[in-house]
Structure 1
Amino acid sequence: MHLPHGDANYASHTKSLAAAALSDRVKFVDLPPNDAAVDPTVKDVVKFFMDSYKSHVRDAVAKLVQASPLVSGLLVDMFCTTFIDVADEFGLPSYIFYTSGAGCLNLTLHLQNLRDNHNTPVTDFNNPEANWNIEGFKNSIPGKILPRPVLNPFLCDGFLDFVKRYRDAKGILINTFPDLETTTIEHLSKGETPPVYPVGPILELKREDATGEGRGSEILTWLNEQPPSSVLFLCFGSNGCFNETQVKEIATALENSGFRFLWSLRRPPPRGVVSFPLDYENPAEILPEGFLERTAGVGKIIGWAPQAAILAHPAVGGFVSHCGWNSILESLWFGVPIAAWPIDGEQQLNAFQMVVEWGLGVDVKMEYSKEFGMAEEDVIVVGSEEIEKGIKGLMAEGSEAREKVKKLSDRSRDALAEGGSAEVALNRFIADVIKNLG
């Protein structure tokens, strides 16, 4: 499918995948551009976008079925559940690929069940004072860290409609591994939902060759000059950016903490413009006066960051992160503990799991929210003292979180080893696909 506003990076990435050796086994079908996929007046733009592409997907599946009698089902993304209808038209079973963790899946299934089977209005979910006791979690979940779409009554129904369709699938593949989400996976495996297959951690560790020439090479050269586990890495994902006031608070915290740092600092898009953040041409324009000169010996400001390559470097000892699920899996893979500063989506829940459920990180501001389209004046500012406290807790030698992360790093690699949990889950999934053909 083509994104509504077009994205050259997205298109080039897809083309590079199609041209890779992987294409011997995985084929990409380029669907036609769809002008009808964009309507700024609709309330739920994601659902509208998916529904508008249903006829194109139907045509593509029809060609696949006609070309091969071996088509055995549709595996759809967690937001593409409307295409389950297409599978049903062709008598094919459907499966879900859930790109976040089992915890988010469990929570949203629980809330969907409350709405549809216990007549709980979605407005009840937006209660920051509530504590939710949900089977599959060890601790009660504060209402203020529920996924952002759940807390927005205008989006919640549409979001839970996606979740409701998961129950129509024959199974759900999840990008996680049992040693990370033991309690939740055990709960989801009780038979009250479709079978779950923890096939993770699925990681793309070579998104760009950061060892070659260009920005990645310069960053790694700087890291090579730093002592082991001494550098604090700050990166907030593809949409991660802050206003000038917040940037200055972060800078003050970094300077006062005294730790070495590598900071991926991005410029917010202009108000009203839908785009990803861009790099600053001159970071000094937004940083405190003299900050770059005073920290020149211990810190480095960058824009775009080759995140996996940085986390893999032995000089990196801590990661201030928005707690996107991919970032969590990468940090665990490389054994780097996280200071949690979530921004949007399900990141607040991910942060809660990292810090409270699993003890694998420290908290900066777990309930922080900077939703897409949110006015800057409505975004809270996290003070430098609070940020500094989180940084010092993260970088402390011999911390319990640091030791736990090192052990779980080994477990994540075991999951992908021959005979590991990912292979076991994938084999079980394949066996069930074959069984469902009958």
Structure 2
Amino acid sequence: MTTTSELVFVPFPAVGHLVSMLEMAKLLVDRDDRLSITVLVMKSPFDSEIDSRVELFAASVAARIRFILLPQQNVSLEASPMAFLNHFMESHKASVREAITNLSACGSSRLKGLVVDMFCTPVINGAVEFGIPSYVFIPSGVAFLGLMLYLQFLQDEQHVDLTRLTGPDAELDFPCFANSLPAAKFLPSEVLMKEDCQIFLGHARRFKEAKGILVNTFAELEPRAMEALAGLGAPAVYPLGPILNIKVESKKGFEILDWLDQQLDASVVFLCFGSHGSFDEDQVKEIACALERSECHFLWSLRQPPAKGKLESPSDYADPAEVLPEGFIHRTTGVGRVIGWAPQVAILAHRAIGGFVSHCGWNSTLESIWFGVPIAAWPQYAEQQFNAFQLVVELGLAAEIKIDYRRDLIKGGNSIVTADKIERGIRSLMEGKEAGERRKKVKEMSKKSRKALMEGGTSYLSLGRFIEDVCSQ
């Protein structure tokens, strides 16, 4: 059948955002041969993995997904993270418009919509100019979407000064969760900064201009958050997840998987903290002390933080022993392994993994659910992670290590979580009756996540509704 409907995707160039959006593109063209997708790729000034990820993906997909590399823009890295994101997107508006113009002039297919990442809302203007609908993609869950809309409602409709919602007694009665929460712990750090508040809420305002919102979640995971959206003025919401790249890499070249083959089922705790996950030396020593005292078998992905003041991805240590307690590697030989970068999907899929100490990034949370691995939650540097933490704890899928830890990606860590607290979290995750009950609940949610994507499942049906909305225009 001839392709007649084309969507233009604008992902934000960060691995956690890019991967899920590309996987969604694959999901769409595999589902309906009326669709083709053009992905406009922006070059990240601080994430070198983006180019290689796009190249690998482009080599593995059908011709109905194509890529256009946008010209690199020079944006100052001196601004705050939220201001940088805004300047970065504003600098790409002209090149996005030019790309849409060229696609419209080509005439090989009908342009039916613009799908933008949640941080790419400034380019929605291009959709308005060309008279096509826009859709927003949320790579996090519905609770995070609800939070953004709720904060925007508080400021614009209730005239609440969000920058004053701080202090031990300040609370938010957020409808996605059962209880009011301390605002200083719950609010995104960007909102607590006056200079970034309007930028953050500006994205939420643009969400309401879209024809629909696509979310990387499934209805069974966030039923209360889905219900809460009805009162927040959201357009049509399509939960399409879990959208994951769950292809387990070949074992070739991953010696660590051979080591896992030698371990007992569900006996190893895996520590990994995302694409930006790293700690200062003092915190590394506390984690090491906790692992040694817990006597649990462990696999630890330990990354070196970038230089202070640099917004860059962590790197592997040339010698991890330089930041670990003296003799730690020797004393834990046979019990644990310290590695650099980790093939996270392949590790979580392994039968030996019994628990996952995680920063609660949304992709990591969905992967742990998919593979039925309970979490010890340690959210670190983003509001999406706190939402994921709150969700998995409420559902009984996670133990808690630290609720209000924040690591500044530019300045480094501001607090230390003690070995005692980390050890308690690991033991709660791996030992005792409570751990067994938690593992059972995660296995049940794992089945629901897979069923949601099957024919007749909630996400399968939601994807069908979105496709029909696009093709019927």
Separation in 2, partners of 1:309, 1:190: 40
The count of corresponding residues between Structure 1 and Structure 2 is 427
Aligned with 1:336: secondary structure?
Answer: coil
**Alignment correspondent of 1:73:** 113
Q: How far, CA to CA, are the matches of 1:297 and 1:16 in structure 2?
A: 35
Residues 47, 312 of structure 2: 8 Å contact kept:
no
Alpha-carbon deviation of 1:41?
Answer: 5.3
Q: Whole-Å Cα distance in 1 between the matches of residues 354 and 399 of structure 2? A: 13
Residue of structure 2 in register with 1:424 after alignment: 461
Question: Which position in structure 1 is the counterpart of 2:215?
Answer: 174
Q: More deviation in 240-249 or 267-276? A: 267-276
Distance 2:190 2:309 in 1: 20
2:427 alignment partner, one of 381, 392, 402: 392
The letter for the 1-side match of 2:94 is S
Looking at structure 2, the residues matched to 259 and 111 of structure 1 have their Cα atoms a distance apart, in angstroms, of 42
Residue deviations 1:10-60 (CA, integer Å, cap 9, x gap): 11211121222x24221111112223x346358711111101110100000
Paired AA for residue 348 in structure 1: F
Change (3 A) 1:41 1:244: closer
The match for 1:414 is 451
Distance 1:151 1:350, change over 3 A: farther
2:103 matched to 1:64? yes
AA of the residue aligned to 1:429: F
| Whole-Å separation in 2 of the counterparts to 1:6 and 1:103 | 28
Residues 26 and 115 of structure 1: CA distance in aligned 2, closer, same or farther (over 3 Å): same
Distance 1:390 1:283, change over 3 A: same
The residue aligned with 1:142 is 182
**How far off its partner does 1:303 sit?**
0.4
Check if 1:240 corresponds to 2:240: no
SS in 1 for 2:227: helix
Distance 1:298 1:26, change over 3 A: same
Equivalent of residue 259 in structure 1, options 289, 296, 304:
296
State whether residues 309 and 411 of structure 2, in contact with CA within 8 Å, keep that contact through their aligned partners in structure 1: no
SS of 2:298's partner is strand
How far residue 180 of structure 1 moved from its aligned partner, in angstroms, is 0.4
Query: AA paired with 1:29?
Result: I
Kindly report the root-mean-square deviation, in angstroms, between the aligned alpha carbons of the 2 structures: 1.8
Cα gap change, 1:434/1:125 in structure 2, threshold over 3 Å: closer, same or farther? farther
Asked if structure 2 preserves the Cα contact closer than 8 Å seen for 1:4 and 1:38, the reply is no
Kept after mapping to 1: 8 A contact 2:357/2:378 = yes
CA 1:46–1:18 in 2, change beyond 3 Å: closer, same or farther? same
Asked if 1:227 corresponds to 2:264, the answer is yes
1 CA distance for matches of 2:196 and 2:468?
Answer: 37
Contact residue 95 and residue 169 of structure 1 kept, 8 A: yes
Question: 1:9-408 to 2 correspondence within 5 Å?
Answer: 9-20=49-60, 22-35=61-74, 37-38=75-76, 40=78, 44-68=83-107, 70-143=110-183, 144-189=185-230, 192-206=233-247, 209-213=249-253, 217-346=254-383, 347-355=385-393, 357-376=394-413, 379-399=414-434, 400-408=437-445
The Cα of 1:423 is off from its aligned counterpart by: 1.2
Provide TM-score, normalisation by structure 2.
0.87
Contact 2:44/2:50, CA 8 A, preserved across alignment? no
In structure 2, C-alpha distance between the alignment counterparts of 1:375 and 1:260, rounded to whole Å: 29
SS at match of 1:72: strand
- Output the CA distance in 2 between the equivalents of 1:102 and 1:298: 39
> What is the CA distance between 1:366 and its match in structure 2?
1.1
Contact 1:253 1:384 in 2 (8 A): yes
3-state SS of paired residue (2:190): helix
83-92 or 120-129, larger mean C-alpha shift: 120-129
SS state of the match for residue 96, structure 1?
Answer: strand
Secondary structure at the aligned position of 2:191 is classed as helix
Provide Cα deviations, 1:156-187, integer angstroms capped at 9, x if missing partner.
Answer: 22111111100000110000001100111122
The structure-2 alpha-carbon separation of the partners of 1:66 and 1:151, relative to structure 1 and needing over 3 Å to count, comes to same
Shift of 1:138: 2.1
Gaps of 5+ in 2: 1-40
Specify whether residues 424 and 296 from structure 1 end up closer, same or farther in structure 2 by C-alpha distance, changes over 3 A only. same
CA displacement at 1:151 relative to structure 2: 2.9
Whether the aligned pair in 2 keeps the contact of 1:93 and 1:169 (CA below 8 Å) is yes
Give the C-alpha shift of residue 421 in structure 1.
1.3
Which 10-residue stretch deviates more, 380-389 or 9-18? 9-18
Higher strand share: 2
Paired residue type of 1:370? R
Quote the offset at 1:4 in angstroms.
4.9
Contact 2:114 2:133 in 1 (8 A): yes
Relative to the length of structure 1, the TM-score reads 0.93
Cα 1:413/1:375, change in 2 over 3 Å = closer
Q: Structure 1 404/4 Cα, relative in aligned 2: closer, same or farther at 3 Å?
A: closer
Alpha-carbon separation, structure 2, partners of 1:242 and 1:149: 21
Deviations 1:140-169 (A, max 9, x none): 223213223223333222111111100000
Distance 1:133 1:191 in 2: 14
Residues 92 and 137 of structure 1: CA distance in aligned 2, closer, same or farther (over 3 Å): same
Answer yes or no: is the 8 Å Cα contact 2:353–2:373 preserved in 1: yes
Q: 1:254/1:39 Cα in 2 relative to 1: closer, same or farther (>3 Å)?
A: closer
User: 1: distance between equivalents of 2:56 and 2:113?
Assistant: 26
**Structure 1 CA distance for aligned equivalents of residues 42 and 145 of structure 2:** 26
Distance 2:171 2:457 in 1: 36
Q: Which moved more, 1:360-369 or 1:425-434?
A: 425-434
